[in-house]
Amino acid sequence: MGITSFVLSFLAELEENNNRDWFQQNKKRYDEALKNIQEFVTQVIGGISVFDASISSQKAKDCIFRIYRDVRFSHDKTPYKTHFGAYIAPSGRKSGDAGYYIHIQNNASFLVGGLWSPEPVVLKKIREEIYYAPDELVAIIENKSFKSIFGTLIEEGSLKKAPKNYPDDFEHIKLLKYKHFCAEKTVSNAEVTSENFLEHCLQLLEISAPLVKYMNKIVRYE
């Protein structure tokens, strides 16, 4: 079972009616959409387990983020997220592990593999690994399939200058400037609701698997 157009329709309407009254009136529709997402994520976990057994024990309900926003410290007081998100990682979505992220949103869906915004101590370890032994990561991101699908790593938030204590003339200095070590691929509404989206999703995430495993060797000291 794939993701139905009902899910995207619900999310599109939620964007236009992001308030508690509307949500409560449409709670059954939300429950139906969530059920579809849970079923899809269950299939994705099973598929990923074939090429990354480290996530095989995860359950969909534990991977999917709540739709309710934490507005305590935000200027945006809309109470609900307008997307469904699921993070599939060896120690769960709240861990600091690298993993696979599925983001389903009307006209704004995407898939991610890797590690987003590692903690400072982990970021330090990643940079040390890249500096002293860059070949493995370079081979991953220079892989023909990786480059054709993802292009490069996410550059958002990258440093303008070399990190402290690293030379500007390091051959792979760009890699040391990254704040995130993950790759992203957008997917259209038509792709999301197509009959072969599960297969398409797994193909893309499998290409990101070497990056996920590489990061987890550092994160998890494997």
Map out the domains of the chain with their CATH numbers. 5-219 (3.30.930)
Helices (H), the chain: 5-16, 20-25, 27-51, 60-63, 120-132, 135-142, 144-150, 173-177, 189-192, 197-219
**Residues 48-67, mean pLDDT to the nearest whole number:** 97
pLDDT digits (tens, 9 = 90+) for 65-110: 999 998 787 888 899 999 999 999 999 999 999 999 999 999 999 9
Measured between alpha carbons, how far is 26 from 24 in angstroms, rounded to an integer? 5
pLDDT at 222 over 60: no
Question: What pLDDT is stored for residue 101 in this prediction?
Answer: 98
**Stated pTM of the model:** 0.96
Q: Which residue has the higher pLDDT, 53 or 73?
A: 53
Tell me what percent of the residues of the chain surpass a pLDDT of 70.
99
Report d(CA 88, CA 94) in Å as an integer: 10
> Is the model's pLDDT at 24 over the cut of 60?
yes
- pLDDT of the residue at 118: 96
- Residue 108: the pLDDT is 98
pLDDT of residue 74: 80
Task: Report pLDDT for 70.
Answer: 87
Q: Does pLDDT of 169 surpass 80?
A: yes
